[in-house]
Amino acid sequence: MDMDYDTLQRAKMDAEQHQNTRIDFISQLPLDIVITTLIPLFLDGDKPLNSLEFPYLHVSKIWRERIAKCFGGLYFETGDGDDGNLPQVVQLARHIKTLDVERYSKGTWLADLLRNHDFCSLQELDIYNFTAKRVKHFTASLKSVSSTLTHFTIANDSETMLPISAILANCPNLVSLDIKQPGVADFTSLPMRSWPKLTELMMFSRSGTIITCDHIHAIGKRFPSLKHLRLYPCRDMHAASVILDYYPWMNDLFFLKAGCEFAITYFQDEEPGSKGIGLRDICIHVGYPKGDPWRNVSYILLRQHRETLECIDMKVNACNEDEKIYCIGFPCLKKLCITNGKGWIPRNAPMLEELEITYNTPASVSTVPDTVPPKLKKLKVHMDLSLPIGDNASFERYLHQLAQHS
């Protein structure tokens, strides 16, 4: 027997064993150092923490628990798979805070996953493509995470409506619901009770079924705490005024015409505080509306909120403005973006600092502002160069005023 060879073999085995020995130093260090200093060193910038791309989760149980504690839970994406073969989700279920499901179309795997495993930390569930046939089976499974789930987003691309009543019944702690359906969820059929925890509601109908004022009244009566509301499609601009009847604290409005319908987004950007209740930021993009919008909602909103508005973005090509609007003053307005003039607004906004004008028709005396607000700091003008030049003299006069002002 070659003694030297045996000695070398033993030395090699000892070296390999020593090399494979793992020191669980993370459990020996103070918790605050691990969470605030050590674990962030492993991260790739602000990239979401996905267990598939984060091998440190699989070092040991204590590592997994420390990492989960550091981030208040794990973020997990299911990827393109749609067969429910997700052993890592099962392994990490109790630590998952956010679960992103790319597609759910086959069988009942997602519902079974939620039912059969302990998602005791799950707060956010996002499903981007839902075409599963067992709709009731899925909505019933949401009850398994009812105690923790607060944010639910789902794009229902099937032809079967998800019952909104079942979602709300099985998820009583929701603060955010973002749902796309083949039609409009019938909030009018919900029981006359309130869901005070819900603060964000986004509802989108892809079939063209219109969200009516009756739907908005039903929402307002049942969800008294909303701070963010997005609806599409709505029939007309009147819906924007109805929403404020129920949620006067919302201070930002975005109103967009898409095709023949309208999309409305309201949200509370900040607490009313000392500034009081009222719109601060209003954005209305409606192109060429039927009739004269100034005679209804646009005029009403500008008049009602003239004391609080700080930013107006109006792309409204209205030909016949009601002369009454020329008397509206905006004492707090700081930023104004307008299309084809509305030159009377700068005249009535003494605190205006930013002015942006877009011309998609030839400029004229009536569309060029006649006043340079005393606090104006920035002016932007966008013109379609394919159009006739229009009234150069008016522009020259205004630029001369601006030069003298600066």
Q: Strand, helix or coil at 369?
A: coil
pLDDT of residue 167: 95
Residues in the chain, total: 406
Gap between the Cα atoms of 251 and 240, Å rounded: 12
Say how many C-beta atoms besides its own lie within 10 A of residue 134's C-beta: 14
With a CB cutoff of 8 Å and minimum separation 6, the contacts of 189 are 165
CA dihedral 51, 52, 55, 57 (to 10 degrees): 20
With a CB cutoff of 8 Å and minimum separation 6, the contacts of 316 are 284, 285, 286, 287, 289, 293, 298, 339
pLDDT of residue 19: 62
Tokens (6 digits) for 223: 């969800």
pLDDT of residue 83: 67
pLDDT of residue 43: 63
Tokens (6 digits) for 325: 């609007």
CA dihedral 133, 137, 140, 141 (to 10 degrees): -100
Taking the model in full, what pTM does it have? 0.81
Gap between the Cα atoms of 135 and 156, Å rounded: 10
402 Cα distance to chain centroid: 38
Backbone angles phi, psi at 19, to 5 degrees: -65, -35
Q: Strand, helix or coil at 376?
A: coil
Give the chain's residues under pLDDT 70.
1-3, 18-27, 42-54, 81-84, 271-275, 287-298, 317-323, 341-342, 360-367, 384-395, 405-406
Gap between the Cα atoms of 179 and 171, Å rounded: 14
DSSP string, 314-361: EEE--SS--GGGGG---TT--EEEEES--THHHHT-TT--EEEEEESS
Gap between the Cα atoms of 77 and 71, Å rounded: 16
DSSP string, 40-77: GGGS-TT---BGGG-GGGGS-HHHHHHHHHHHTSEEEE
Say how many C-beta atoms besides its own lie within 10 A of residue 372's C-beta: 21
Place of tokens 């039903």: 218
DSSP string, 144-201: GGTTT--EEEEEE-SSS---HHHHHHH-TT-SEEEEEESS---GGGS-S---TT--EE
* Cis peptide bond N-terminal to 233, omega within 30: yes
pLDDT of residue 48: 45
Q: Strand, helix or coil at 370?
A: coil
pLDDT of residue 398: 72
Gap between the Cα atoms of 106 and 115, Å rounded: 17
**50 near 22, Cβ under 8 Å?**
no
For the chain, domain boundaries:
19-72, 334-406
